Amino acid sequence: MASEMQLTLVAGLLRRGRGLDLLSNALTLLALAYGLAPLLGAPPSAASAVVCGLLVMLGMAQKYWAIRVALDAELFTRLAGDTARLAMHTTDLDQALHSLGLQPTDAAPRDWLQRSHAALRLLRLQAAWLVAQLLLALVVILATPWLSLAG
């Protein structure tokens, strides 16, 4: 059985996903604004349109994982507040997930350690999409002076 401290710790770690999401949102909006700049009279560039499109797609992938991490953070926070009835809440949670189609009905029951590891895996996936987004932006920033010299 999971302890209140373990659930609280996992919830706290999952809440860090909000900061990752905010950074990705800023980068995504910046890419979107730059990509739409030709509509306001800026000279169009196919390369910048592709890069902006990729940055927006990476941002949307990160957003998907951020939504899942935020949901898990809320669930872990809620369950950490009432560990005395954790078994009952676990059953209720599994039934709700089954009824909404978010978990297969034949899924084996998991303990809270497994659920904690799975939730933290989602946070790592969210961070990986943000890192991909940041690396693309960094590569473009660092390559831009070299590309202008070559062309």
Domain ranges of the chain: 4-150
CA distances from 104 to 24, 77, 110, 136 (A): 31, 24, 13, 36
- Residue predicted with more confidence, 71 or 109: 71
pLDDT digits (tens, 9 = 90+) for 78-122: 999 888 888 899 889 888 988 998 888 888 888 999 999 999 999
103: DSSP letter = S
pTM of structure = 0.90
* pLDDT of residue 133 exceeding 80: yes
**Contact between 11 and 115 (Cβ < 8 Å):** no
Residue with tokens 């507040």: 81
pLDDT band at 126 (very low <50, low <70, confident <90, very high): very high
